[in-house]
Structure 1
Amino acid sequence: MGTLLAPVLSQRSQAKALEADFARQERATRAQWQREQEKADLQQRRACYVAANAAFRRYRVELMNYLWNVHRAQADEAASRELEAARHAHHAAFAEAQMVASAAVLDHLDEVALAVGEGYRRTKAFEEGHPDPDDSFEKIEEYLLWLWERWKEMRSEMRTDLGIDDAPSRPE
């Protein structure tokens, strides 16, 4: 009886071993795919965050330049085109980042986008000669400088989302 059952039991045992090996390989493949997916997601977020940071910085700098040009009565068509190009680049980078940003980063992105939009509105109103009540060149400039602090907070949240520890503060 043992001689007759031995091949059947051996075949069954071998099938179970193959099944277990297949399951192990499938788990390993799934884990590898998951790691690759997480790496790709991280790279995509990083690229979007870099683009959003660069676009915000350029837009804010162009707003500052434009405000100074308006203040000195030197705002010409070229300066206006530069500001609009920076504004549109910011909108594009912001829209892309909205699709991949974490909820915490998205909160900061939204805050900064609203704030920089307000800076744009105030600068254009100043240029057109109807600034907000009590608004002036100095107050708008102060506001645009304040935006820099909001950007630092957003940048810090982006770094945290990417798993990058903040560097120690520089002595002032």
Structure 2
Amino acid sequence: MSSALIALIAAVFGVTGTLLAPVLSQRSQAKALAADFDRQQRAAQGAWQRERFQMEFEKRRACYIAANAAMSRYRVQLMIYLWRVRREEVDDAAKQELEAARHAHHAAFAEAQMVASDAVLDHLDQLAIALGIAYGRTKDLEEGHPGPEGSFEEIEAYLGWFWRRWQEMRRAMRDDLGARDTHGQ
């Protein structure tokens, strides 16, 4: 091969390389930008999912706190009311206190039905029914026509049973929220 041919081949490769360099550089840069964009998208998606999980967790936690407090208050007011019925000391203020606790429980329960896990909702449903039964029995006793299992002692025992079931519900709520049992409850 002659040196002129070698120079021509070298010149063709040189010119081709010079012409292709910007194209190859641009493709390489486009791939790098696309990869960077994908990383940013995945990071943003992960952040959004973490934020959404945290918001849902906080909403469920607040709901469980409200349901727990409302249920406890309703049970306490039922106990107080039951004792007032026994001592024949029921007045309008006692009725209003009981109804306020009952309505607060219904509102908290309605919200919990929308966000509670199935396991917690099973407990909430059972306890809401139990509170309704205790309320009905207490009102029947107050009106002087108690039904089966409607004596003061039976209603009081039923509310004691409710207390044990309420502790199970509370444990289910803690489990759902991932709370660790550090006190052996």
Letter of the 1:107 counterpart:
D
Q: Does 2:62 match 1:47? A: yes
Q: In 1, are the aligned partners of 2:119 and 2:172 still within 8 Å (CA)?
A: yes
Letter of the 2:31 counterpart:
K
Structure 1 residue aligned with 2:8: none
Structure 1 residue aligned with 2:158: 143
* % identical aligned pairs: 66
Pair 1:145–1:134, CA change in 2 (3 A): closer
Q: Does 2:118 match 1:97? A: no
Structure 2 residue aligned with 1:5: 20
Q: In 1, are the aligned partners of 2:134 and 2:155 still within 8 Å (CA)?
A: yes
Which runs of structure 2 are paired with 1:117-136 in the superposition (5 Å)? 117-136=132-151
Aligned residues: 170
CA RMSD of aligned residues (A): 1.0
Structure 1 residue aligned with 2:130: 115
Q: Does 2:100 match 1:81? A: no
Q: Secondary structure, in 3 states, of the residue corresponding to 1:139?
A: helix
- Report deviation, 1:167: 3.0
Moved over 4 A (4+): none
- Report deviation, 1:135: 2.8
Structure 1 residue aligned with 2:81: 66
- Report deviation, 1:166: 2.1
Q: Gaps (5+ residues) in structure 2? A: 1-15
Q: Gaps (5+ residues) in structure 1? A: none
- Report deviation, 1:134: 4.8
TM-score, with normalisation over the residues of structure 1? 0.96
Provide the C-alpha distance between the structure 1 equivalents of 2:162 and 2:182, rounded to a whole number of angstroms: 21
Structure 2 residue aligned with 1:14: 29
